[in-house]
Amino acid sequence: MKHVLCAVAGATALFISAPSFAQTTLTIATVNNGDMIRMQGLTNEFTAKNPDITVKWVTLEENVLRQRVTTDIATKGGQFDVLTIGTYEVPIWAKKSWLVPLDKLGADYDVGDLLPKIKDAVSVDGKLYAAPFYGESSMVMYRTDLFEKAGLKMPDSPTWDFVVDAAKKLTDKNGGTYGICLRGKAGWGENMAFLTAMSNSFGARWFDEKWEPQFNSPEWKKTLTTYVNLMKEAGPPGASSNGFNENLALFNAGKCAMWIDATVAASFVTNPKESKVADKVGFALAPNTGLGKNANWLWAWSLAIPAGSKKVDAAEKFIAWATSKDYTKLVASKEGWANVPPGTRTSLYQNPEYQKAAPFAKMTLASIDAADPNKPTVKPVPYVGVQYAAIPEFQGIGTSVGQQFAAALSGSSTVDAALAAAQSSTEREMKRAGYIK
Amino acid sequence: MARMVTTQRKVISTAAAWLVGFLIFFPILWMVLASFKTELEAFAIPPSFLFFHWTTENYVTVQERSDYLHHALNSILIAGGSTLIAMLIAIPAAWSMAFSPTKRTKDILLWMLSTKMMPPVGVLVPIYLIYRDFGLLDTRTGLIFILCLGNLPIVIWMLFTYFKEIPKDILEAARMDGATIGRELVYVLTPMAIPGLASTLLLNLILAWNEAFWTLNLSTLEAAPLTTFIASYSSPEGLFWAKLSAASTLAIAPILVLGWFSQRQLVRGLTFGAVK
């Protein structure tokens, strides 16, 4: 009996003296992109180092996620502890005080290593409000074999004149090869991402300094005319329903001589498992017209903490882990350097192993460097954002303008009519929102 | 001679029926086929119909990445729960309106239907706030409640029209024979209304199973049904059709099987009631 009592007392003492972990569960909302799925797969590495934290994932389609997360953060619903958001949301949400500033990511986080343009895009007034997980710009991907056959040489930084001319020469509609594939599907993140970036290179802008819409300007007319004519002459049929994935499939099947889209696509088009033309792809900066701006955008999926979260410490730990230099090394050791999340850290682009594994690394970095979210256009503008204007109204306005432009591309409207409709609908919306009288 | 024409006609009408059936079923068939393709083949132009490299890789990936059973159980509980509660409320409501109508019955019915005309996103924020304050976000109870409310107008309308077709004289005869309201409901009304009740129940179950707006917006993890499971397989950058097809095939499988076994009731009910 005595032994039993001793054993019970001993066990109790042991139980009391053992460190008790208060288990914190982090709910992380994210999009279904390759890099994010990879991060989910590596969660165990994080929880092994932080046994007091459990991680649960909510993966949603981009637009669903945006709506879901916006509702939750605006109502302070508290359903998520870490959010995956884009560069569009960061400045808007930070100004509304919806995000926790990330100034406690740890001494070895090395904020100075983040690519300056990407860091700018996720900071407001010099404070980091989201940690970039992967970043991207856009660039020209082209078929080196077709260019060689036609006796053309792609410059590192081509002009629109060159691209238009080459696209026409490389088009062989009977043979099923098209000179250029571009986004045509309507949406603020679809055709308008491309067209807004393209318009920047033509000297156009969405709004002047007083928030007056500028679709009646000659620069916009030139942008849209060039785009529509180019796609009619050298684009694939049914281009007005093509987005990133459709063009990716066309390019990988060898049907496009050029494709201007996200730098992230470079790893897909050079992957022999996915692409028929993997060894015949070259890269160049997005085109310009000599005005000092290229037609490339800037985007970063980033991790942020909603204000009012009760698990800020654990969330910070997770964000610091997922966006650290060590995380890229972890991915490289498990899945190879070609699969590490690109576009966020200077050190990655200086890494010779990465440069060897990713032939597109140099051009990706040059493209990111060529975009400036704080000064996106030739003429001054009152907004930040390269392929969008970071105001809450932009999603609605951008999609409605995108529909007008898609109609001009499909031929159900003209360039002039589309621009006039875009001007009037944007004016109406900006008046309603109180930007202009 | 006449007999031959009839046979010929039969053959033609049977062939036409099969053709129409095939056309209607084709999207589902295409989805099932795509779920057995690789991502590249799912996106290939021109698409291959049957002669491709069959693989179950997508199903394995979906199983690895998501907890299908958790989502399926949520779907069953949410769709089943909301349907049962809706039926419990709707049967007495429709019964009273069909057999003891007042001056305002028609107005009430129209008012009920009018609530379906408002786009749900219009009330998303108020409902979200109420759910937040009552702790109903990401709970099955919360989803059962909202789906039940959302489907009630349709359920009441359907039952009302089925009940209206039952001759009042039969009920009167039962009353003359001394039947109480309870006995009248159980022994006279119910047997006659069973096809209508069954098809309403099934249609409501399908509506609740497929409901995507509220289930996506009010659930996160614990209560997330199959709609969130599907939504996690669509991607803006990268190929996803094959995996999305595999997830969708898994998501519709239970309701497809249920529909298959109950098609007789479903068709019978649908051809004599409100939605004929």
Tell whether the model's pLDDT for residue B95 goes beyond 90.
no
**Cross-chain Cβ contact B128/A71 below 8 Å:** yes
pLDDT, position B270: 64
pLDDT, position A16: 44
Tell whether the model's pLDDT for residue A421 goes beyond 50.
yes
Tell whether the model's pLDDT for residue B170 goes beyond 70.
yes
- What confidence category does residue A20 fall into, taking pLDDT thresholds of 50, 70 and 90? very low
Q: What is the pLDDT of residues B28-62, one digit of tens each?
A: 999 999 999 988 788 776 788 888 888 998 999 88
Distance CA A240, CA A258 (A): 17
pLDDT, position A35: 87
**CB A303, CB A321: distance < 8 Å:** no
Tell whether the model's pLDDT for residue B2 goes beyond 60.
no
Q: Which of B44, B231, B238 sits opposite A61 (nearest CB)?
A: B231
Q: Mean pLDDT across chain A, nearest whole number?
A: 91
Query: Which are the contacts of B149, defined by CB distance < 8 A and separation ≥ 6?
Result: none
Q: Which of B128, B233, B237 sits opposite A75 (nearest CB)?
A: B128
Tell whether the model's pLDDT for residue A144 goes beyond 80.
yes
- What confidence category does residue B194 fall into, taking pLDDT thresholds of 50, 70 and 90? confident
Tell whether the model's pLDDT for residue A243 goes beyond 50.
yes
Mutate to test the interface with B, among A28, A55, A58 (most CBs of B within 10 A): A58
The pLDDT of B80-105, averaged and rounded, is: 92
Choose between A151 and B95: higher pLDDT: A151
The pLDDT of A386-413, averaged and rounded, is: 94
Interface predicted TM-score (ipTM) = 0.80
The pLDDT of A162-181, averaged and rounded, is: 95
Buried b (16+ CB within 10 A) or exposed e, B75-113: bbbbbebbbebbbeebbebbbebbeeeeeeeeeebeebe
Number of alpha carbons in the 13 Å side-chain half-sphere of residue B65: 24
Query: Which are the contacts of A297, defined by CB distance < 8 A and separation ≥ 6?
Result: A137, A138, A193, A194, A196, A197, A371, A386, A387
Choose between A35 and A183: higher pLDDT: A183
**CB B158, CB B93: distance < 8 Å:** no
E strand or H helix that includes residue A259: strand A258-262
Tell whether the model's pLDDT for residue A48 goes beyond 90.
yes
The pLDDT of A178-186, averaged and rounded, is: 95
Q: How far does the CA of residue A352 sit from the closest CA of chain B (Å)?
A: 27
Tell whether the model's pLDDT for residue B4 goes beyond 60.
no
Number of alpha carbons in the 13 Å side-chain half-sphere of residue A150: 19
How many contacts (CB atoms, under 8 Å) link A and B? 90
- What confidence category does residue B1 fall into, taking pLDDT thresholds of 50, 70 and 90? very low
Tokens found for residue A383: 């907004």
What does R_g of chain A's alpha carbons equal in angstroms? 24
**Cross-chain Cβ contact B45/A250 below 8 Å:** yes
- Global pTM reads 0.84
Locate all alpha helices (DSSP H) within chain B, ordered by sequence.
2-35, 39-43, 57-65, 68-99, 105-114, 124-133, 140-164, 168-176, 181-183, 190-210, 213-218, 226-231, 241-261, 263-272
pLDDT, position B198: 86
Q: What is the pLDDT of residues A148-169, one digit of tens each?
A: 999 999 999 999 999 999 999 9
- What confidence category does residue A3 fall into, taking pLDDT thresholds of 50, 70 and 90? low
The pLDDT of A394-408, averaged and rounded, is: 94
Number of alpha carbons in the 13 Å side-chain half-sphere of residue A388: 26
- What confidence category does residue B12 fall into, taking pLDDT thresholds of 50, 70 and 90? very high
Query: Which are the contacts of A429, defined by CB distance < 8 A and separation ≥ 6?
Result: A393, A396, A397, A400
The pLDDT of A112-128, averaged and rounded, is: 93
Q: Residues in chain B whose beta carbon is closer than 8 A to a beta carbon of chain A?
A: 39-40, 43-45, 65, 124-125, 128-129, 132, 137-138, 216-217, 220-221, 224, 228, 231-240
pLDDT, position B131: 96
The pLDDT of B152-176, averaged and rounded, is: 88
What does R_g of chain B's alpha carbons equal in angstroms? 23
**Cross-chain Cβ contact B216/A64 below 8 Å:** yes
pLDDT, position A342: 92
**Cross-chain Cβ contact B231/A78 below 8 Å:** no
Distance CA B26, CA B34 (A): 12
On chain B, the residues whose CB falls within 8 A of the CB of A245 are 43, 235-240
On chain A, the residues whose CB falls within 8 A of the CB of B221 are 27, 56, 58
pLDDT, position B181: 82
**Cross-chain Cβ contact B132/A61 below 8 Å:** no
Locate all alpha helices (DSSP H) within A18-121, ordered by sequence.
34-41, 43-49, 62-74, 89-95, 116-121
Distance CA A224, CA A114 (A): 35
Q: Mean pLDDT across chain B, nearest whole number?
A: 87
**Cross-chain Cβ contact B128/A249 below 8 Å:** no
**Cross-chain Cβ contact A249/B231 below 8 Å:** no
pLDDT, position B40: 77
The pLDDT of A346-374, averaged and rounded, is: 92
**Cross-chain Cβ contact B232/A61 below 8 Å:** yes
Q: What is the pLDDT of residues A212-241, one digit of tens each?
A: 999 999 999 999 999 999 999 999 999 998
The pLDDT of A123-151, averaged and rounded, is: 95
Axis crossing angle, helix B263-272 with helix B190-210, rounded to the nearest 10: 110
Tell whether the model's pLDDT for residue A9 goes beyond 70.
no
pLDDT, position A106: 86
**Cross-chain Cβ contact B137/A77 below 8 Å:** yes
